[in-house]
Amino acid sequence: MESLDLKHQKVLVLGLGRSGQSAANFCAQRGAQVCAADERADLGTNLSLSEDIEVRLGQAFPDPADFDLVVPSPGVPPERYRASARRVWGDIELAGRALPVPIIAVTGTNGKSTTVMLIEAMLKACGLRARAAGNLGNPALDLLGEPLDVAILEVSSFQLETVESFRPHVAVVLNLSPDHMDRHGDLENYAAAKRKLVEQQEPSDIAVLNEDDVQVRQFAAHTRARILPFSRHAESPSQASSGRIWLDLGQAVLSEDGKQTRLSLTPADSLGETHRDNVLAALAAVWAFGADPVRALDGLIDFKLLPHRSEHIATHKGVRFINDSKATNPGAAQRALESTRSPLLWIAGGRDKGLSYRSLAEAAQGRVRTALLIGEAAQKIESELHGSVPCLRMENLEEAVLRAAALAQEGDVVLLAPACASFDQFKNFETRGDCFRDAVLQMTEGNPE
């Protein structure tokens, strides 16, 4: 990897969210002449930038051709800079060049944040100084200067569009299903972005790949790293790897060089079936890193899921209310439906990402009493669910919660799993999840069972 010398370089940072501000300050601290731009005009009081950074708000982006390096925020599409930029490095590329410790990086369509936090908890249980950052909120560059043994980064497809030589020591690919087609165009372009996580790895690195996902299995042909597959099944479609981890009767089986170690996953039972793959992937990453997997499982004892991910809000009159607002694509929503054994009142909808909802029709059939649909995608979802499940159109999320509660019977689950982005009615999926929580708690008057 090239050295990171930014002194006297002209750097353009596009977008001033948390990662953009972090990147701008990082480049300025290393002697770059930084221009930080955002087309939104109302960010002034929310910015925390070094005084020597030129800030441009509320106007068109400067011409990327006038700068030595462009650092785009993940939300800025490549067509805004790619054609004229001399060099493009996102904050993940910068972090990969600057962090002095090994990196474990996690990508996939669903489960990234949970897996990253599981890895952090497991490594801490092993006595390592580990911190998680990246796409889950805390910018990767904010880890610089912390006393660390390892950095764990959640990396999105948007962030991977702007890496050049990023090389994690352990790369974890969880799954791959259609998402962000409004940005990537098709599944192949989306997969190509995800593959960048493993393409720069060397034989001394490890790629932890989900063997049960056909798309992810194909990543093995695009890396020089040693492959460590994880699976829910003892049988392997490929016997080429020297190590493997799988599930068997509630235990994780670690196999390497003809030796097997069985570990009870009972501490993970409270996380639910939805997260069993994430637990297995995290354990595989810890094992790949060289930490003790037995000690690592102690990190599950007090582990709490992040909000808005299969989050139990309340039980009222025998009905459970589950907030899975982070299920922002059909694949995630399907997992949420399939992992719930109780009859469902399912709240879905939001801003369409250009994806098909047909797979949800099969998942919903026999599980969902009624689908309560909100937002811009309601009509499209209803048309693709037609004949599989009764559908009701709701004006907003609060109305959907009240109607779902009225329809629910004792033993049912009211599940928010939108299968869509939130930006038609909410700032982000967190705000949507908070709205769901508030509506449920207001309905139960703060006194759930």
- Model confidence pLDDT, tens digit, residues 104-121: 999 999 999 999 999 999
**Do strands 311-316 and 319-323 pair parallel, antiparallel, or not at all (unpaired)?**
antiparallel
pLDDT higher than threshold 90 for residue 137:
no
What are the residue numbers of the active site? 112, 135, 180
Strand partners, 134: 154
Q: For residues 90 and 193, is the Cβ–Cβ distance under 8 A?
A: no
Q: Decide: helix, strand or coil at residue 208.
A: strand
CA dist., res. 278 & res. 146, Å (int): 27
CA dist., res. 166 & res. 257, Å (int): 30
pLDDT higher than threshold 70 for residue 226:
yes
How far is the CA of 97 from the CAs of 5, 53, 94, in angstroms? 10, 22, 5
pLDDT higher than threshold 70 for residue 241:
no
Give the model's pLDDT for residue 275: 86
Helix, strand and coil in the chain, % to nearest 5: 35, 20, 40
Q: What is the DSSP letter of 326?
A: T
Q: Do domains 10-88 and 93-300 have the same CATH topology?
A: no
Please list, residue by residue across 372-398, b when 16 or more beta carbons sit within 10 angstroms of its beta carbon and e when fewer do. Answer: bbbbebbebbbebbeebbebbbbeebb
Residue 60, both tokens? 């068109």
Which residue has 């370089």 as its token pair?
9
Strand partners, 69: 11
Per the prediction, the chain carries an average pLDDT of 94
Where residue 240 falls among pLDDT bands split at 50, 70, 90? low
Which residue has 């390497």 as its token pair?
256
Give the model's pLDDT for residue 183: 86
CATH topology of domain 93-300: UDP-N-acetylmuramoyl-L-alanine:D-glutamate ligase (3.40.1190)
Give the model's pLDDT for residue 446: 53
CA dist., res. 446 & res. 216, Å (int): 44
Give the model's pLDDT for residue 386: 87
Give the model's pLDDT for residue 447: 58
Give the model's pLDDT for residue 250: 85
Give the model's pLDDT for residue 200: 98
Which pLDDT tens digit goes with each residue over 320-354?
Answer: 999 999 999 999 999 999 988 899 999 999 999 98
Domain regions of the chain by residue span: 10-88, 93-300, 311-442
Q: Decide: helix, strand or coil at residue 422.
A: coil
Give the model's pLDDT for residue 408: 97
Give the model's pLDDT for residue 61: 97
Strand partners, 133: 153
**Do strands 206-210 and 170-173 pair parallel, antiparallel, or not at all (unpaired)?**
parallel
User: What CATH code is assigned to 311-442?
Assistant: 3.90.190.20
Which residue has 């703060």 as its token pair?
446
Domain 10-88 coded CATH 3.40.50.720: yes
Give the model's pLDDT for residue 445: 77
Contacts of 307 (CB under 8 A, 6+ apart): 323, 430, 433
Which pLDDT tens digit goes with each residue over 44-94?
Answer: 777 999 999 999 999 999 999 999 999 999 999 999 999 999 999 999 999
CA dist., res. 447 & res. 449, Å (int): 7
**φ, ψ for residue 334, nearest 5 deg:** -60, -40
91-98 helix and 18-29 helix, angle to the nearest 10 degrees:
40
Closest Cα partner for 411 from 313, 334, 341?
341
